[in-house]
Structure 1
Amino acid sequence: KLEKMSDQGERRPRFHRYASSDNALYSVETSSASSESDLDENSESDGSGEFDKSLPATHRYLGRLDNVGGYTILDEGQVIPGMLAIHTNTLVFPGFTLPLVLRDYETDQLLEDIKKGYMFALICTDKVKTRLYEYGVIMEVYETSARRGVINLKAKGRQRCEILPDTMTRNPWARMQKLTVKILGEPNIKSPISNTQLQTLKARRTNFGSDYQTLMRNYKHRRYHLSQFPYASWVYDRNELSYLVDLITRSLAKFYTKEHLPQDPTSLSYWFVQNYQLTHEERLDILKCPSVLERLRLELRYLKMKRSLICGRCSIEIANQSDVFAMSREGVQSNYCNPGGQVYETITVSEAQNYITSGEPSKQFTWFPGYAWTIIQCKCCASHLGWLFTSNNHHPPRFFGLAHSCLDIKKMEVSDDNESCATEGDEFKQMQVS
């Protein structure tokens, strides 16, 4: 073995290729020893072969991080001048995680601001991508580490915020800047008939409920109660949060398992926009909605459109909506960061088409422990699409991670005859029959 090594000479360093922000490829030099250790470290097998979907949410590829933050909720209407704002090509909504890798030319400013409160505003461009969008999300750093001029951190979305007009003219492409933001709250939405029933009757048989089962259990008496008002009963039903939650979860059950769908109205409204295949414009419209009721009603309208994933450059079809599935406990669409600091919102699909692979499989900095990734490109225009993940030890043995920023969403209106999701009219009829 020693003679063989001496004949070959010193092993040369390996180079692994990653996709950069402009869809080009760049190389990261790693030694053979470190690469092999990373392979062993990231190879996770529980013997059964079933992949542990809690692993991607931990972002172990960032290394060991120190716990630095708690859970901070700012006062509604509070104005914060000079708050650190970070621009990425992705959107993160309250309750979801953003991983970041920041290089040495960015660390001095970030370290100073993190020490002040571990919070920053996540911002993005508007619909035409010429200036900053007027709304963003307050992020709280809860784990971080700084070594050799690089900061790795994880932040959690906490609250929506509004960027005040005096700072809206700033450069929309600057990675970091100071902005004045106003904290937006979540108004408490009550049933439209919550104050129309006597307290003594509410205790015995309420005509509304926080969950759909309670609403349907007393729906016969609810109709009698609503007969005294000028509008049809379904008008009031459409403004019940529990009704909208049930309608959306039953419609989403075609694409996602119910265990991934939250039942809390606010959590569901943010889960939907974080995981459903929406265009950038649609997501901005949802971010702008001032209440959970308006978000759910808008999301219900978006559910009535069939969607497919197409190449962002040449518009050739890459995947169908039926191919989307979850490889993470956070859902089917999560944010991951590569060594260059580029954040990718990645959609996991079981099958893809019209692609070619580029380079050799590698487990270096893998987002899914135990899986090797290979860059995939569009076979027509050669633009970057995402990655093919493969494993000999886990189930599924392969899947695709498509970069949301490299795709477009093709929308098709669903016809009345072949509508795939439950419609409001059908639900009203079902209520009246019951």
Structure 2
Amino acid sequence: MTMPLLLLPSVVLVPGQVIPLQLYTHRLVAMVRRVADKDKTFGVINLSKNYDDEGRHHFTSIGCTAEIFSMKDEMDEPSGISTVRVKARGRQRFKIVDMKSEITGDIIGRIRILPEVSMVHVLEGARLPSHRKLMVQPPDDSDDMIKTAVDRQGNILTSVDLRFKNPITKMYTANYMWWPPWVYQMYDIDWLVEQIKAELHSWCPSLPPDPVDLSFWVAHNLPVNDEMRLRLLAFDSVVQRLRFGLSIIRKSGVILCCDSCQEEIANKKHVFSMSREGPLGAYVNPGGHVHEMFTVLSVKNLENVGFASTEHSWFPGYAWTIVQCRGCNSHMGWMFTVAKMNLSPKKFWGLCRSSIKTSFGKVEEQDEKEKIGFIV
């Protein structure tokens, strides 16, 4: 399969993610129009900040197809430059087999769609066929499972326990296997989904229920660099993605700090979702550069640059102000302040994913976990 490719710096598109584009160069505008007239699908690959031995940008071999679902043509009358505003959604992972540059300047890639491998349960081969129809969900230990009958004077007549005495669950055969049951539980997809939802519930209460969608949601919203996100994207199995994502969540630090000088910027407990897609979103500025940023409610060691403006604001009703690190003056993102009184929150910050990383810093004793240095 061949398709046109778009190389974007500091952007790793994952399935389900929405990416906005504002294109003004003649080559890219013409390419997008051709794609929109054909099948509305093109490929997005990450353009690394690193260079090869010949001084050229290094690009990754793993990418994601993007399907255009919104497109708007605009014309700048003073300059006569034609621009195209596009919104596309990530669809399928692919690996580049070969790529070439056309005479028009378009980059065409020959790609192979990566399969989504569905694995059977880790204990599937050890279960007795006669027990499968008897398997139930793990017992609920709540008081609702115990029914009590009383008379008019409030005296207890009888009590019935509705919980299963010896339930047969899908993990029951782990007790007869070579490894301890908790080893097999680590590869149980339902258990992985429950653990990730428990860890990230404060970020977004309505997480995707489907395990595959959740694995890509995790890959999209975790505060990791391009290399770690590409590793998540390269896994063909949802179990592998969930396990690796859960490992990052539990081993990464609680502090978001500056990527350049490691100055503490925010705490992960202050991360929140400003949109339905999660705490991280992709936004494009008038110059066509795509920024991926986290939204947080509280920061430290940042200073404002310039004045607040509502022009081209990514959040209607909010004014933006550029913020930079107080330690090294690196660009960190923007502060958004409310311009209309009926909006909430009154103030929040958007931190660029490429400008931050996680570290452990100082944590409370009850939150003390395994320290392995910097994760991202």
TM-score (norm 2): 0.78
Matched to 1:99, the amino acid is P
- 1:72-119 superposed Cα distances (whole Å, 9 cap, x missing partner): xxxxxxxx1353333242122111100000004221232123322111
SS in 2 for 1:132: strand
Give the corresponding residue for 2:326: 379
Residue 224 and residue 189 in structure 1: after superposition, are their counterparts in 2 closer, same or farther (change >3 A)?
A: closer
Residue 281 and residue 182 in structure 1: after superposition, are their counterparts in 2 closer, same or farther (change >3 A)?
A: same
Say if 2:30 is the partner of 1:84.
no
- 1:14-45 superposed Cα distances (whole Å, 9 cap, x missing partner): xxxxxxxxxxxxxxxxxxxxxxxxxxxxxxxx
Matched to 1:161, the amino acid is F
**In 2, Cα distance between the equivalents of 1:414 and 1:140?**
44
By percentage of residues, which structure has more strand? 2
The partner residue of 2:72 within 145, 151, 160 is 145
Residue 224 and residue 366 in structure 1: after superposition, are their counterparts in 2 closer, same or farther (change >3 A)?
A: closer
**In 2, Cα distance between the equivalents of 1:237 and 1:416?**
29
Gaps of 5+ in 1: 1-79, 209-215, 423-434
Residue 126 and residue 376 in structure 1: after superposition, are their counterparts in 2 closer, same or farther (change >3 A)?
A: closer
Give the corresponding residue for 1:193: 123
Say if 2:41 is the partner of 1:119.
yes
Matched to 1:85, the amino acid is L
Within 5 Å, which residues of 2 pair with 1:237-256?
Answer: 237-253=185-201, 255-256=202-203
Matched to 1:160, the amino acid is R
Say if 2:352 is the partner of 1:403.
yes
The partner residue of 2:227 within 281, 302, 306 is 281
Matched to 2:294, the amino acid is I
CA drift of 1:257 comes to: 4.2
**In 2, Cα distance between the equivalents of 1:188 and 1:302?**
22
- 1:168-217 superposed Cα distances (whole Å, 9 cap, x missing partner): x98xxxx9622221111211122122344344432232589xxxxxxx98
**In 2, Cα distance between the equivalents of 1:322 and 1:122?**
32
Gaps of 5+ in 2: 53-57, 76-81, 139-162, 371-376
Please tell me whether the aligned partners of residues 84 and 113 of structure 1 are also in contact (alpha carbons under 8 angstroms): no
CA drift of 1:224 comes to: 4.7
Identity of aligned residues (%): 30
Matched to 2:62, the amino acid is Y
Deviates most, 377-386 or 141-150: 377-386
Could you say what the CA RMSD is over the residues aligned between the two structures, in angstroms? 2.9
Residue 370 and residue 188 in structure 1: after superposition, are their counterparts in 2 closer, same or farther (change >3 A)?
A: same
CA drift of 1:403 comes to: 1.5
CA drift of 1:372 comes to: 0.9
Give the corresponding residue for 1:388: 335
Say if 2:111 is the partner of 1:181.
yes
Please tell me whether the aligned partners of residues 414 and 420 of structure 1 are also in contact (alpha carbons under 8 angstroms): no
Give the corresponding residue for 1:296: 242
- 1:330-387 superposed Cα distances (whole Å, 9 cap, x missing partner): 1111001111111100111111222222222211111111111111122333332111
Give the corresponding residue for 2:218: 272
Within 5 Å, which residues of 2 pair with 1:322-401?
Answer: 322-391=269-338, 392-393=340-341, 394-401=343-350
**In 1, Cα distance between the equivalents of 2:137 and 2:90?**
35
Residue 231 and residue 310 in structure 1: after superposition, are their counterparts in 2 closer, same or farther (change >3 A)?
A: closer
**In 1, Cα distance between the equivalents of 2:244 and 2:11?**
21
Within 5 Å, which residues of 2 pair with 1:26-105?
Answer: 80-105=1-26
Give the corresponding residue for 2:263: 316
Give the corresponding residue for 1:55: none
**In 1, Cα distance between the equivalents of 2:199 and 2:37?**
44
Please tell me whether the aligned partners of residues 127 and 280 of structure 1 are also in contact (alpha carbons under 8 angstroms): no
Say if 2:76 is the partner of 1:154.
no
Please tell me whether the aligned partners of residues 272 and 295 of structure 2 are also in contact (alpha carbons under 8 angstroms): yes
SS in 2 for 1:273: helix
SS in 2 for 1:357: strand
**In 1, Cα distance between the equivalents of 2:275 and 2:128?**
46
TM-score (norm 1): 0.68
**In 1, Cα distance between the equivalents of 2:9 and 2:131?**
52
Matched to 2:92, the amino acid is Q
RCO comparison, higher one (Cα < 8 Å, 6+): 1
Give the corresponding residue for 2:373: none
Please tell me whether the aligned partners of residues 40 and 67 of structure 2 are also in contact (alpha carbons under 8 angstroms): yes
Aligned residue pairs total 327
Please tell me whether the aligned partners of residues 336 and 344 of structure 1 are also in contact (alpha carbons under 8 angstroms): yes
